[in-house]
Amino acid sequence: MKQMIIASTSTIHGSTYLAYLTDELTEFFNDIEELIFIPYARPGGISHDDYTATAQKGLNKLGIKVTGLHTFKNPVEAIKNAKAVFTGGGNTFLLVTQLYKHNLIETIREAVVDGVKYLGTSAGSNITGLTMQTTNDMPIIYPPSFKTLSLIPFNLNPHYQDPIEGSTHMGETRETRIKEFHTLNTQPVVGLREGSWLRVTGNEIKLKGELSARIFELGKTPYEIATNTILNFD
């Protein structure tokens, strides 16, 4: 049974790494003593070791030992033997490229379907959808495919931002970009605002956090769903 926390971000304004998720993670990881951290997205180009240290610091309060996937000689076997996996944020193009390079897309998918607990933030959340095509990230590298883990039946736009009233900015809004996506693609897109996350238990996907989420479906006017709503696109 799938057990996942898919979070818009690792850090909200005025807080520390993963702090806003502490209560949720305490319950979610109640039977986990160690997990594998996937540092491939490398925000700002930091090293895998430094990024793993950041994840470890964020999870210290839960008493969980964090080991970077980059330290294993056989990443595929490491994921197969893991009880929990955390994929951090950064650049989704880089993350997906590295996952394909190490033959990990299907491995991670199968592990999570079989019950390995999964935490994703930002780019690590982007990859849980059908494709990575609704990321906000700069295409700094060309991945072999835009197809990702397909663990949820839609795409995500983490860090979703609403238009700022009174702004003189003339560029595209997030809503405009997602509508542009729907001129060529059909899957729904969930705009996750900062401090929001999805809790996945089996086939149930529930929005959590204090804010609503913005939903985009082909041929429909974008609409809001309230926190604690169960997502269903059937």
Active site residue 137: yes
Residue whose entry in the numeric block shows the structure tokens 């700002």: 44
Active site residue 150: no
Q: How far apart are CA 130 and CA 201, in angstroms?
A: 18
Residues 6 or more apart from 117 whose CB is under 8 A from it? Answer: 3, 4, 28, 29, 32, 35, 83, 84, 85
Asked if residue 32 lies in contact with residue 64, where contact means CB atoms within 8 angstroms, the answer is yes
Task: Check 70, 125, 159, 196 and give the catalytic one.
Answer: 159
Asked if residue 151 lies in contact with residue 2, where contact means CB atoms within 8 angstroms, the answer is yes
Return the structure tokens found at 83. 């009880």
C-alpha distances in Å from residue 117, one per residue of 3, 30, 45, 109: 5, 11, 27, 11
Task: Check 8, 122, 125, 196 and give the catalytic one.
Answer: 122
User: How buried is 157 (Cβ within 10 angstroms: 0-12 exposed, 13-18 middle, 19+ buried)?
Assistant: buried
Neighbours of 227 (CB within 10 A): 14
DSSP 196: -
What residue type is 75 in one-letter code? P
Task: Check 8, 10, 70, 137 and give the catalytic one.
Answer: 137
Please name the residue ranges forming H helices in 29-122: 48-59, 75-80, 92-101, 105-113
Closest C-alpha among 46, 120, 50 to residue 89 = 120
The residues annotated as belonging to the active site are: 122, 137, 159
